[in-house]
Amino acid sequence: MSPPDLLRQYPSVLMAWRNLGRNRVRTALAALGIVIGVVAIASLGMAGAALQYQATENLGGLADEVTVTAGEDNAEGLTETHVRQIRQVSTDATVIPVKGDRTTVAANGEEVRAGVTGVTQASALYTAGEGEVPERLESGAVVSNNLASELGLEVGDPVEYGGQLYRIRGVTEAAGGFGGGANTLVLPLSALADQQYYDRVTLITDGGDAAQDLAAAVDARLNDREEVVTATTSAAALEQINSFLSTLNLALLGIGSISLVVASVAILNVMLMSTIERRGEIGVLRAVGIRRSEVLRMLLTEAGFLGLVGGLAGAVVSLGVGLVIFEALAGDPAAALAWSSSRYLVYGLGFALGASLLSGLYPAWKAANERPVESLRG
């Protein structure tokens, strides 16, 4: 173990580095304990961050949406009057009235039941995996990925609804948009013109807070003495999920920290054994004029080196584990490099240094304050 040239400028630090090399097996085992502790803390923390990232990615797009449906005291549905009132309240939001139906879609010898959605602003609700989703759907149709897969439908194929053929203009993403994973046929709103009532009205706002404020405004405007409409948003649910995941992350970090506590005991044992074995040497140093503070600094530096080396090695391993976790849970390994997840590498390294220094404090204090005569006696 050859110390870096920089250490030669600091004798006590240089001596601490050399002392760790005297018993390399014991030093390696103590450092391994630190590595395991850091990996436990950082990996569990990054696993929690990956779960939170996944929840935000899956639900974050819905947090800025308000869904307005018929309330308990409205047995029929939403009328044009209700839609007009909603528009009056939602001046800063995109208002998308939606009608719905059920039908049987047949193609290529196969036949399945599908939900029919009548909408004009299709691109606000759906994302195309193939073809296009028009900004204003006035002709043609859009089908969900699941329906297209079951019936072997492609862009350009015809589908029939109400005795009229509609040419498929786009197929939604497999996991995107409303009904992306269900059998859904999206048609122009005019295709369901014979239906008097709307199934729902979707409002798209600037964010979760705006969505919650708008939901309250719609409720206050349309619900006077009766619950004519129900306005719901996913923002509150997303906040609750994030709060739960944050609590879960703290619990995981607590479990992981147990490993570092065990590693701290191992470092305490290493430092105690080291000071006992070098008791006479420390006595000679004190006898020739080395101050207590120098002895204390030297022994604390040994403990710090153990924590630093073990912590850095653990951080590198944890980064690799984090990349694998984010790939498995979120499908985006690069997200492990974001501060929200990579900070646990810093936490683990800091915890390792702190635990090592605390573990070495008592042996260092004991050795530095022992009288030289008693140390020389052994």
The pLDDT value recorded for residue 61 is: 56
The answer to whether 266 touches 30, Cβ cutoff 8 Å, is yes
Direct distance between the N- and C-terminal alpha carbons of the chain, in angstroms, rounded to an integer: 28
* Predicted local confidence at residue 178, as pLDDT: 43
Calpha distance 263→41 (Å, rounded): 12
DSSP for 115-182? EEEE-S-GGGT--EEEE---SS--SSEEE-HHHHHHHT--TT-EEEETTEEEEEEEEE-TT-STTTTS
Length of the chain: 378
The predicted structure's pLDDT at residue 6: 46
Pairing of strands 229-233, 164-172: unpaired
**E strands along the chain, which residues?**
65-70, 94-107, 110-118, 128-131, 141-143, 158-161, 164-172, 184-187, 200-204, 229-233
CA dihedral 255, 256, 259, 265 (to 10 degrees): -80
Provide the Cα torsion 354, 355, 358, 364; round to 10°. -100
Tokens of 19: 């002392």
Rounded to whole angstroms, how far apart are CA atoms 198 and 212? 22
Please list the pLDDT of the chain residue by residue as tens digits (378 residues). 455 554 455 566 666 667 776 777 777 877 888 888 888 888 888 888 888 787 776 665 566 788 899 989 888 889 999 999 999 998 888 999 999 999 888 887 788 899 999 999 998 888 898 999 999 999 999 999 999 988 899 999 999 888 889 999 999 986 544 444 588 999 999 999 889 999 999 998 887 778 888 888 999 999 988 899 998 887 666 777 778 888 887 887 788 778 777 777 777 777 777 777 666 666 776 677 777 777 778 878 888 888 888 889 999 999 999 999 888 887 888 888 888 888 889 988 988 888 888 888 887 787 777 776 565 555
Q: Which residue has the tokens 């990925």?
A: 145
Which residues, 6+ apart, have CB-to-CB distance to 25 below 8 Å?
none
**Rounded distance between C-alpha atoms, residue 313 and residue 310, angstroms:** 5
Q: What is the CA radius of gyration of the chain?
A: 33
- Residue that the structure tokens 């404090």 belong to: 361
209, 235 Cβ separation under 8 angstroms: yes
Output the pLDDT for position 252. 77
Those residues whose C-beta lies under 8 Å from the C-beta of residue 145, and which sit 6 or more positions away, are 129, 171, 172, 173, 174, 180, 181
**Residue whose tokens read 């090695």:** 313
Predicted confidence at residue 81, as pLDDT, reads: 93
Sequence ranges of the domains in the chain = 5-58+239-377, 64-234
Rounded Cα–Cα distance for residues 187 and 140 (Å): 7
State pTM to two decimals: 0.59
CA distance 277 to 214: 72
Structure tokens at 3: 């110390």
Quick check: 300 and 271 in contact, CB under 8 A?
no
Q: CB-based contacts of 343: which residues, under 8 Å, 6+ apart?
A: 45
| Closest to 353 (Cα-Cα) out of 314, 297, 295, 296 | 314
